[in-house]
Each structure stands twice: as structure tokens, then as C-alpha cells.
Structure 1
Amino acid sequence: IMRILIDADGCPVIKESIKIAKKFGLEAVIFCDTSHYFDEENVRTVFISKGVDAVDFAILNNLDKEDIVVTQDYGLASLVLSKNSYAINQNGMIYTKENIDELLYSRYISKKIRNGGVRLKGPKKREKSQNYIFEESLKKLILEKIEK
């Protein structure tokens, strides 16, 4: 049975993910480290000790084949795809085997530039319309996978 696993550390679409999960009768599970606190009604929250990638590993250890992971972490998304599960980011971009390599490479290049002392611009302030786009994309992904 498909579930929605939420990489909640820094995730701006937790409530939207839960809303869509409920709409489709799916379980939503929030994963976060102990520096965060979530108390969403009828939603299981898994608290993980702080540590580099600790939440990512917890998600992977709890991942089933049909699950959808909501994450902005390209590395985690890549591992999710390798386990034949699905991943989507906070802006509604669905990670695929076709786009993940390019995303990982751009992350690598950005890191090299930052390590060279160059300061890169961060993301723009999030707009409400992005949440709507995310919701529509998550609905579409669920429907595609249910119909399979």
C-alpha cells in the first residue's frame, strides 16, 4: 500500500502532503530529527537522533516499493529511485531516472563553486502558488501510480 513519507527537515509542504495523503486515503509519515517538533493529527511522526543524513537513512530503512518520498534532497531522491520508489520535491518536480543525474551533477558543480569561495544566491522567497503546483503534481503522481 502506497504511503507518503515526508523528509520534514526544512520542508515547506508538510501540511499539503498530509492533506493530499488524506484525500487519497494514504498514510503520511513525517520523518524529522529531534530539533524539530510536529504534532499533526492522525499522522505518525518518526523522530531521529541528530546526525548527518540520519533522517535520510531512516526514510530509506522504512521505504516500501510503492512509497512516495517528499524531499528536496537530490541524494536521498536518487537512493529512493534506486529502490524503485518515487520522489517529488517541494516545488512539484518529480524526480526520475532521466533527470536525477543532471540534478546531482548541478549540486556537485555548485558545491565546487562554493568551496572555491564564491557565494551563490539562495532560493527566492516561497510563494503560495508554489504550494498549489506541488499539490497538483503530487495528485498527478499518485493517480499515475494507482492506475499502474
Structure 2
Amino acid sequence: MLPFKLWVDADALPKILREVILRASDRYQLEVTFVANQNVGITPSIRINSIQVMSGADAADQEIIERMKENDIVMTQDIPLAAQVIEKGGIAIHPRGEIYTTANVKARLHLRDFMDSLRGAGVNTGGPPPLSERDKREFSSALDQTIQKQKRKTAL
């Protein structure tokens, strides 16, 4: 098994990405842990784990931050969680394939706060479109590249 893990913020895990994650686990012998406040319907195996946390705001996020280690990969749509992952030395990846960086996560936090203030003022901001097959391919490619990069980094 690899010296790093993949953590999945599974509270809002798009179903079309579940198979991508499981295939990557098989291909790279990568340990994956799905964390959510509900049962995610994943059958545990030697490399696949599932943690169900108490319901509550950010309970899954806090569980991931407490358990993850430097060089681990975290898949999340949650911008504050991505910022914490980066601070802790991990890699955060969005379900659409974007790799969060210190620079882009700050910009996204500002945009998130701005959108929250608009919603608080009664503006309907809508939500993101559903994930497409193209998004699935982008995520799969970004995940493969990230795993390869982490393999090289941790092999030194």
C-alpha cells in the first residue's frame, strides 16, 4: 500500500465519481476512507473504509482533518476544508478535477463569503450544474496525476 491515503468528504459525493475512486484504489493499491454523516453504501474491504460521523455542521470535515496526515489527498467541494487540508500539508482536489492551491483556495473563500452575503440578502444565486461525463474525466485525470505526484514525492 502507498504511504498516503485518499480521504473522501462523502456528504456530497457525486455518485458518478464513486467508481472512479474505487478503480483508483485498485489500480494504485491506495487506501480510501469515505467520511460522511450518513451511510454511504460502500462495502468495506482491505483498502476501502467508511466512517459515519454524528450529524452536524462540518462533523465529517473535522473528522478528516483530525485523521489525515501530511501528503494525504482529500477529495472535497468544501472550500474551508480544502484550506485546512493545504495548511496541514495535504493535497485537496475538487470533484470537478481542480487541485486547490494556497492561492486559489483564498480566492474561492472570498467568493464563497460574497455568495453567502448575497444569499443572506435574499438573492437566489442558484447552485452548480450536475457533474457531467467531462467533469468525471477531468476528476479521474486529476486524481491519477495527483496520486502519481504523491508516489514520486513520498518515494524520495
- What range is the shorter-chain TM-score in? over 0.9
How many pairs align?
147
Task: Give the aligned partner of residue 19 of structure 2.
Answer: 15
Q: Give the drift of 1:30.
A: 0.7
Q: Where do 1:57-72 residues align within 5 Å?
A: 57-72=62-77
Q: Give the drift of 1:19.
A: 1.5
Runs (4+) of structure 1 exceeding 6 A deviation are none
Task: Give the aligned partner of residue 136 of structure 2.
Answer: 131
User: What is the rounded CA distance, in whole Å, between the counterparts of 2:4 and 2:138 in structure 1?
Assistant: 21
Choose the corresponding residue for 2:100, options 74, 95, 101.
Answer: 95
Task: Give the aligned partner of residue 36 of structure 1.
Answer: 39
Task: Give the aligned partner of residue 143 of structure 1.
Answer: 148
Choose the corresponding residue for 1:105, options 110, 119, 122.
Answer: 110
TM-score by length of 2: 0.89
* Partners of 2:74 and 2:92 within 8 A in 1: yes
Which consecutive unaligned segments of at least 5 residues does structure 2 have? none
Q: Could you say what secondary structure the match of 2:81 adopts?
A: helix
User: What is the rounded CA distance, in whole Å, between the counterparts of 2:91 and 2:28 in structure 1?
Assistant: 16
Task: Give the aligned partner of residue 54 of structure 2.
Answer: 49
* Partners of 2:10 and 2:40 within 8 A in 1: no
Which consecutive unaligned segments of at least 5 residues does structure 1 have? none
User: What is the rounded CA distance, in whole Å, between the counterparts of 2:85 and 2:139 in structure 1?
Assistant: 19
Q: Could you say what secondary structure the match of 2:50 adopts?
A: strand
Structure (1/2) with the larger helix percentage: 2
* Partners of 1:9 and 1:36 within 8 A in 2: no
User: What is the rounded CA distance, in whole Å, between the counterparts of 2:18 and 2:64 in structure 1?
Assistant: 15
Q: Give the drift of 1:59.
A: 0.4
Choose the corresponding residue for 1:6, options 8, 14, 17.
Answer: 8
1:20-42 Cα offsets, whole Å, 9 max, x none, are 12211110111011x33323341
Q: Calculate the aligned-residue CA RMSD, in Å.
A: 1.2
1:56-84 Cα offsets, whole Å, 9 max, x none, are 00001110111100000000000000001
The sequence identity of aligned pairs, in percent, is: 27
Q: Give the drift of 1:137.
A: 0.6
User: Relative to structure 2, which stretch is displaced further, 64-73 or 15-24?
Assistant: 15-24
TM-score by length of 1: 0.94
